[in-house]
Amino acid sequence: MTGDLDYDLYILGAIGLLTLCSFLTRAGYFLFGDYMPLSESVRRALRYAPTAALIGIVVPELLPWRAGAGPVLDIKVFAALIAILVFWRTRSTVLIIVGGMVAYWLLKALF
């Protein structure tokens, strides 16, 4: 609670709606699967939605730009590239987080 009622309600609303998301998507088929046939083509197309949504969140965080000011090149991009390299060499998803953070700290100390 922050004391700002509007803000608290906004956060509560977001949490409530995200909880609803969890129930609808995870338990939807468990509950109503008998009434919801899903065609094979829709099923195949839906496989691409999460990747697209996740990259749609990540890209503006890594490569922000504003109209007029142009793109900003942050060391985060280089840290992210190093993280991808680390995954490519090790196949460990945990090392994406660890490697990326270490790279970010090193780059920040250097530049």
Q: Which residues bind another protein (CB under 8 A)?
A: 1-2, 8, 10-15, 17-31, 33-34, 36, 38, 43-67, 76, 79-80, 83-84, 87, 93-94, 96-97, 100-101, 104-105, 108
Token look-up 């090193």 returns 106
Q: Specify whether the CB–CB gap between 91 and 70 falls below 8 A.
A: no
Helix, strand, coil percent values for the chain (each to nearest 5)? 75, 5, 20
Closest contact distance (angstroms) between CB of 38 and another protein is 5
Work out the widest C-alpha separation in the chain, in whole angstroms. 59
Closest contact distance (angstroms) between CB of 111 and another protein is 14
Closest contact distance (angstroms) between CB of 16 and another protein is 8
